[in-house]
Structures are given as C-alpha cells and as structure tokens.
Copies of this chain bind each other. A is one copy, B any other.
Amino acid sequence: MQTVGFGQHDHAACVGGGMKAAEDACEAQGLRLTKGRRRVLEILLQEHRAMGAYDILGMLSDEGFAAQPPVVYRALDFLVANGFAHKIQKLNAYIACAHPGDSHTPVFLICRECETVAETAAPLQSTLGEVAEKIGFKIENTIVEAEGMCPTCRDTETAV
C-alpha cells in the first residue's frame, strides 16, 4: 500500500486490474492492444500520475523502444479514444483511467501545488463541491468544457 492520488489503495492490484480491464475491453471490441500501446498503458498505471507525453517517451527510450514522438502520441490517442486513459487539458498530461470499462464523465481534481490528480465521477448530477469535499480537496478554480455540435453545424450536417 502506498499513497496515490489523495488516498490509499493496493497499487499492485490497481495496475493488474487496469491491464486486465484493457485486455478484456480490447478482446470484446476487436481492438489490438499492441506492444507499444500496452507498454504505455502499463507505464501510466504504474506511475499513477499525470504524465507528459515526453515523460513517457523518455521512459520508452530508456527501455530501448523506438522512441519518436509519434509513437507515444499514437499510443495515447488509442488509449484515450478507447477510455483506458484520459488527457488532463490543464496540464497537457495523460493519466490512466481510474474506472476503465465503466462509461463515465471523468472529473479531475488537480492540486495546483503538487499537480497530483484525482479522478472522480459524475459531478453533473450532484454538485462538484460535494464530491471534492468528501476527499478533502479544496476547489479554487474549475474548468468545464463541453464539446459537441453547435446548432449551426447540426443543421448543416442533416442538410447534407
């Protein structure tokens, strides 16, 4: 057991569980969890913190992987697209998903001091403040960005 995020947990189980969840999901959906993708996910799970793409790149490079930026970005794109990892826009960093397999809208609590990131869920039904308070996080600034289709583009799309 060690401190991760803002709480305690069995980290070995968390890494194993994360890999297992990804393997199962890929199996089920016919996705290919190739060597590079697998290794990047392992790194994110092991480190259990938000990492920059070039941090990951450095680790791959140390291990003798072909290590050019596109290698990492492709792996990250795959992991993010399939819900195994998330991008923390505020930090330009990536983190393994804490709830792989579940469909969810992640909410990230980012410490401005140490940049530790905790992933929580479903803020939009309850209030975000309540979620944070439970774990002792003091929110000072929230970033809420919703992406989708604006009315104009929806009209254009259906017209075509």
Contacts and interface: CB of A to CB of B under 8 A. Distances in A.
Given A90-B145, A143-B143, A145-B90, A150 B114 contact: yes
- Secondary structure of the A side of the interface? mixed
Specify which of A107, A127, A141, A147 lies most central, judged by the most chain B CB atoms within 10 Å of its CB: A147
Nearest to A126: B124
Q: Could you say how many copies of this chain the assembly holds? A: 2
Interface residues of A, number: 46
A150 B89 contact: no
Interface stretch (A13-21, A22-30, A68-76, A132-140): A132-140
Contacts of A146: 107-110, 128, 132, 137, 139, 141-143
A152 interface: yes
Contact of A140 (B132, B140, B143, B148): B148
B6 A152 contact: yes
Given A152-B114, A153-B111, A154-B138, A128 B144 contact: yes
Given A111-B153, A112-B148, A124-B142, 7 more contacts: A89-B89, A105-B144, A124-B127, A128-B146, A139-B146, A139-B147, A142-B147
